[in-house]
Chains A and B, each alone.
Chain A
Amino acid sequence: MGCSTEDLVAALRAAAEVVIDHRDELVELDRLIGDADHGENLRRGFTAVVSTMDGGGWSGPASVLKAVAKTLISTVGGAAGPLYGTAFLRAGAALDGRAELDAPAVATALRAALDGVLARGKAEPGDKTMVDALTPAVQAAEAAAAQGADVVATLSAAAGAAADGAAATVPLVARKGRASYLGERSAGHLDPGARSTSLLLTALATHAGGAR
């Protein structure tokens, strides 16, 4: 079962609403080890994404994802704006020319997103960042797609791995981003960026099947 452009738009809208709903949780996570802006920045950006999704006139998944990227880059600010913006931009570019998504395409797009985030943010796994959620998510998606899973199952595998990856950031000492200045004291806290990545992927997995 594939995922049409309309399904993708609906899933992204739903994912945006989930992130907006978790604004306070993300603010609080960031207040503890950062500067308390992650939830508010993503609320601002994903509120704009909801408006963007109202736009219509999409020529395929790539155009949708690139529009999300542009919206995030121009509304979020902070580190999250360029990082999520780059992720969506690269995912979109990886899907150029496709009319709809199948599982291998989802895996390809997620890999491109991760590569973009790594290039832009220069973080590595274990640095206590969104990379710690996204890296296992990509690996899980690739494994699921290779075993013949459909789009929803592939995204679900990615979401599960992202949730585990996010949870695994708790004991880590941050080496990138503002939490890095805390040194050892950053241990014992869930990374806000890993948490928001996990929230996004879970929401996409839940809604990628469309209304069918």
Chain B
Amino acid sequence: MKKIINDPADVVSEALRGMALAHADLLTVRQDPAVIHRDDAPVQGKVALVSGGGSGHEPLHGGFVGPGMLDAAVPGPVFTSPTPDGVQAAIEAVHGGAGVLLIVKNYTGDVLNFETAAEFAAIEGTEVRTVVVDDDVAVKDSLYTAGRRGVAGTVLVEKIVGAAAQRGDDLDACEALARKVVGGTRTLGVALAAGTVPHAGQPGFTLAEDELELGIGIHGEPGRARLPMEPADALVRRLVDAVTEDLPYTAGDEVLLLTNGMGGTPQIELYLAHGIAAELLAARGITVRRHLVGSYVTSLEMQGMSLTLLKLDDELVDLWDAPVRTAALRWGM
């Protein structure tokens, strides 16, 4: 393992220190329990959006805290969900009297810890709702797994619901919108090489030079199938086929296409893949109305990418286009 770190146990707290300095105009960062929140929180009368999960997925979630998106993010240890204490601290820091919506990725630890925190908050009299993101099509039959994982589509949920909360939608409306976005979002990822968790010291799995892992999640866990490496055309087609067939997305649909890097893939390859994906979608009569290309939901230095489709309507386009000011996503303000 070769990383720019000191003690593996200090990685998250030391990274948060740097993040606090870099974005002092936007964020307040607390340690122990770790919470990143808008520096103007709580915003009175606005539904507060809180998300979080293990660290190592940067810029998710702390990079998406700010006006038009999340009110707070709760970073756990690397690839480990935060404890309920952290989530409770975040809820208390950002609750502006209009309720709190928790955006949780469907991973067992995240769901259990956020659920526990929501119970405590309810006892304190704070109105808290939870929406679980489960956009990963790699998990076909949820009867035999912990269910579809929440992966790159999470950033779309956070942006769109964040815009709705910013314009003054109430908790019911934000919750309903979040469920709608989750329902219209599907993702599939592929890895060429795994990332290394600092405290484990070696990669989550190893792939030969001529192998790829299809259907990976975002924690270095292996996927559903190991296949021979193939050129981008074939690989992207494989992802587009699987994602479009799942919802399904069909001719006439308008979508947002997110080509997401897993942390170790350069932007040039992401743009290359994005161009292929958009062309394949066009051939199916699916219009890409909005694009996002970059590394937004990562898995440390995992080499690979995921493709996400979100079915759009005019309301979702407006909310997507609405101003946002965060460390990692910023337009219109």
Using a CB–CB cutoff of 8 Å, the interface residues on chain A facing chain B are 27, 31, 34-37, 40-41, 44, 73-83, 120-121, 173, 175-183, 185
Report B189-220 CB contacts with A as 1/0, cut-off 8 Å. 00000000101101010000000000101011
* A35 with B113, Cβ < 8 A, contacts A121-B108, A176-B108 known: no
The CA of A102 and the CA of B39, in the complex, are separated in Å by 54
B199 adjacent to A79 (CB under 8 Å): no
The CA of A73 and the CA of B116, in the complex, are separated in Å by 9
Q: A74-B83, A177-B108 are in contact. List 6 more A-B contacts (CB 8 A).
A: A35-B221, A36-B79, A37-B54, A37-B199, A79-B109, A181-B221
In the complex, which of the residues A27, A36, A83, A182 contacts B112, with contact meaning CB atoms closer than 8 Å?
A: A83
A40 adjacent to B199 (CB under 8 Å): yes
The CA of A183 and the CA of B213, in the complex, are separated in Å by 14
The CA of A31 and the CA of B80, in the complex, are separated in Å by 13
A77 adjacent to B81 (CB under 8 Å): yes
The CA of A212 and the CA of B305, in the complex, are separated in Å by 60
Which of B145, B217, B219 has the most chain A CB atoms inside 10 A of its CB?
B145
B204 adjacent to A36 (CB under 8 Å): yes
In the complex, which of the residues B54, B80, B221 contacts A182, with contact meaning CB atoms closer than 8 Å?
A: B221
Contacts of B79 in A (CB 8 A): 35-37
A27 adjacent to B199 (CB under 8 Å): yes
B138 adjacent to A183 (CB under 8 Å): no
Would you list which residues of chain B between 57 and 116 have a CB under 8 Å from chain A?
A: 76-85, 107-109, 112-113, 115-116
B38 at the interface (CB under 8 A from A): no
B224 at the interface (CB under 8 A from A): yes
CB distance from A127 to the nearest CB of B (A): 9
* A78 with B80, Cβ < 8 A, contacts A177-B108, A178-B146 known: yes
A81 adjacent to B146 (CB under 8 Å): no
CB distance from B319 to the nearest CB of A (A): 31
CB distance from B132 to the nearest CB of A (A): 14
B323 at the interface (CB under 8 A from A): no
Chain A interface main SS type: helix
Contacts of A121 in B (CB 8 A): 108, 112
Contacts of A37 in B (CB 8 A): 54, 77-80, 197, 199-200
B37 at the interface (CB under 8 A from A): no
Using a CB–CB cutoff of 8 Å, the interface residues on chain B facing chain A are 54, 76-85, 107-109, 112-113, 115-116, 138-139, 144-146, 149, 197, 199-200, 202, 204, 215, 217, 219-224
The CA of A78 and the CA of B77, in the complex, are separated in Å by 9
* A181 with B139, Cβ < 8 A, contacts A40-B199, A73-B116, A83-B112 known: yes
CB distance from A37 to the nearest CB of B (A): 5
* A182 with B222, Cβ < 8 A, contacts A31-B200, A177-B146 known: yes
A41 adjacent to B80 (CB under 8 Å): yes
B224 adjacent to A181 (CB under 8 Å): yes
CB distance from A68 to the nearest CB of B (A): 15
For the complex of A and B, the 10 pairs showing the least CB-CB separation, nearest first, are A180-B145, A82-B112, A36-B200, A78-B109, A35-B219, A79-B109, A79-B108, A40-B199, A78-B80, A77-B80
A81 adjacent to B108 (CB under 8 Å): no
The residue in chain B whose Cβ has the minimal distance to the Cβ of A183 is B224
* A77 with B217, Cβ < 8 A, contacts A31-B204, A36-B200, A37-B77 known: no
B113 adjacent to A175 (CB under 8 Å): no
B139 adjacent to A77 (CB under 8 Å): no
A31 adjacent to B202 (CB under 8 Å): yes
Contacts of A175 in B (CB 8 A): 144-145
The CA of A191 and the CA of B45, in the complex, are separated in Å by 47
The CA of A180 and the CA of B217, in the complex, are separated in Å by 12
The CA of A179 and the CA of B199, in the complex, are separated in Å by 19
Which of B76, B78, B108, B223 has the most chain A CB atoms inside 10 A of its CB?
B108
In the complex, which of the residues A36, A120, A176, A181 contacts B197, with contact meaning CB atoms closer than 8 Å?
A: A36
Contacts of A81 in B (CB 8 A): 81, 83, 109, 112-113
The residue in chain B whose Cβ has the minimal distance to the Cβ of A23 is B199
Contacts of A82 in B (CB 8 A): 84, 109, 112-113, 115-116
Contacts of A78 in B (CB 8 A): 76, 80-81, 109, 113
A77 adjacent to B83 (CB under 8 Å): yes
CB distance from B214 to the nearest CB of A (A): 12
A178 adjacent to B138 (CB under 8 Å): no
14 contacts across the A-B interface (CB closer than 8 A):
A36-B79, A36-B204, A44-B77, A77-B81, A77-B83, A79-B108, A81-B109, A82-B113, A121-B112, A178-B108, A181-B222, A181-B223, A183-B144, A183-B224
In the complex, which of the residues B80, B116, B139, B222 contacts A185, with contact meaning CB atoms closer than 8 Å?
A: B222
The CA of A183 and the CA of B224, in the complex, are separated in Å by 7
CB distance from B120 to the nearest CB of A (A): 10
Contacts of B83 in A (CB 8 A): 73-77, 81
The residue in chain B whose Cβ has the minimal distance to the Cβ of A31 is B200
Contacts of B113 in A (CB 8 A): 77-78, 81-82
Contacts of A36 in B (CB 8 A): 79, 197, 199-200, 204, 220
The residue in chain A whose Cβ has the minimal distance to the Cβ of B76 is A77
* A74 with B85, Cβ < 8 A, contacts A27-B199, A176-B146 known: yes
